[in-house]
Structure 1
């Protein structure tokens, strides 16, 4: 016997009543009256020619046939609900872009520019992950990444975003900072380092300062923490130009004497080479490549 569409309301009412063992509770769940649920169940019993519930003064209880049908109906409706839920999520995810990126770049470079993207594409939702560990671009993972490096990652397509440079910065409130006139004098101050591949030794060579004993008093795994330590007057940090802009603009940090050393690595937008970007992710990538790479707009 083929299942006809007009059986579905009766099966849904029966399944809810079987779960609750109570018509009134089933009615509340389904936004029906208890009499409507009872009507659906009796209609189903009439069509099947069996009793599905034993009715008694304290309520109802499933018969053996009712238990058999309840198990099948519960499984079937749960399967349908799961499919409907996944379809809704797929619809909702159609306009969501998952991005894995660097905390320091997100905080100082990307966030000030995102209002521009949102104004142009209000329907697109963004999820940003700034975990230190490199993300895996597997199913359910990020659509895009922004990474700092040489631009070559196995299995990934890499689009250059921008180059970078490094120079020393310190808080204008740091004691004695006003007396610093040359790069050699910076070597006498407490230095703040991060885990970047280019560091203070590289910069002092570029500044033609040799033979100094360098004291890297503080070392941070994240560039944002190094910049904030410098802003607190703990020492001198070697800032990346793209990261330093808001700190310099706000007056939290000032640039010290010496060259801006070109960075050996730049910033890249990356994604799996084997996978075509979804339209929303392609829209974000196109914007990312075209956005003004200069100073961020005022907040």
Structure 2
């Protein structure tokens, strides 16, 4: 292993040395690391010893036949593990280009993905059979430079530094509940709704307050009630009769059609926020991003 310094660049240890160190750190054993990497225990030990010599710090404490990470080793292992994971992901993405149009790593809002996007995805696959889409869940904006993500579906304001945003649609939110709860509580007016629990959605903390204020009702109870992380969860809680939920109408069309949920007071509220397709400026020219962008915008244009 050689760590020569190149002008203008900082060289790094060989991948084999880093892999040996990471495996030994993860297992707490040179022997188990050697078994994983199909090396001898002596080879792993030499890789780690040379790495320590180059770095000038001890990465492991050796007591008899046991090894444990030093504080420096623990910090280095976490960084190396993250770097190796990124290299592995980049390699898989590059391999996916073999005979294909590419890979799109897409971050989605979970309920939007399951209720709206995925049911329509066969049309994209039919039009672009060479593109593979990998899905991840993100509930809030993030730094594209720190994530293995090419594009995202975002709800909020059109603000995302260093990214391109395309507005897809707005939304109207309505209060919904199980028919049995409405009958039991005798809900007829908006004021009657304050007698039952108001189910909360974590990423929309002011949803109830906004709706109540638009109805001229006091918002004191707006944030009181069980809290859920996703719209799918809060909707199912409403179906189960746990309380009233306030959700985007387009996400509960199935429940409204089946009668599992009803809108007791149909006074929808719309806001300035909306759903956006977002991708970093640096990836605006990727064929997979362009294909997905054009298809997605076409889907929304056809629906309006």
Instruction: Work out whether the TM-score is over 0.5.
Output: yes
- TM-score normalised by L of structure 2: 0.62
1:146 aligned residue: 153
Q: Within 1, Cα distance between the matches of 2:159 and 2:276?
A: 9
- TM-score normalised by L of structure 1: 0.63
1:179 aligned residue: 186
Coordinate RMSD, CA, aligned? 2.9
Going from structure 1 to structure 2, the CA distance change for 1:177 and 1:86 (only over 3 Å counts) comes to closer
- Unaligned stretches of 5+ residues in structure 1: 1-83
- Unaligned stretches of 5+ residues in structure 2: 1-90
Going from structure 1 to structure 2, the CA distance change for 1:93 and 1:99 (only over 3 Å counts) comes to farther
Question: How many aligned positions are there?
Answer: 213
Following TM superposition, by how much is the alpha carbon of 1:236 offset from its aligned partner in structure 2, in angstroms?
A: 0.4
1:289 aligned residue: 297
Contact 2:206 2:223 in 1 (8 A): no
Q: Within 2, Cα distance between the matches of 1:109 and 1:283?
A: 18
Q: Within 1, Cα distance between the matches of 2:282 and 2:264?
A: 45
Larger Cα Rg: Structure 1 or Structure 2? 1
Alignment partner of 1:121 is 2:136: no
Q: Within 1, Cα distance between the matches of 2:225 and 2:284?
A: 46
Alignment counterpart, residue 91 of structure 1, candidates 98, 116, 134: 98
Contact 2:96 2:102 in 1 (8 A): no
Q: Within 1, Cα distance between the matches of 2:229 and 2:94?
A: 41
Deviates more, 1:184-193 or 1:140-149: 140-149
Contact 1:108 1:246 in 2 (8 A): no
Q: Within 2, Cα distance between the matches of 1:150 and 1:188?
A: 33
Alignment counterpart, residue 272 of structure 2, candidates 249, 264, 286: 264
Contact 1:101 1:129 in 2 (8 A): yes
Where 2:225 maps in the other structure, the secondary structure is strand
Going from structure 1 to structure 2, the CA distance change for 1:252 and 1:116 (only over 3 Å counts) comes to farther
Where 2:181 maps in the other structure, the secondary structure is coil
2:201 aligned residue: 194
Going from structure 1 to structure 2, the CA distance change for 1:126 and 1:88 (only over 3 Å counts) comes to closer
Following TM superposition, by how much is the alpha carbon of 1:286 offset from its aligned partner in structure 2, in angstroms?
A: 0.7
Contact 2:172 2:268 in 1 (8 A): yes
Deviates more, 1:174-183 or 1:100-109: 174-183
Flag the structure with more relative contact order, 1 or 2, with Cα contacts below 8 A and sequence separation at least 6: 1
1:81 aligned residue: none
Where 1:158 maps in the other structure, the secondary structure is strand
1:104 aligned residue: 111
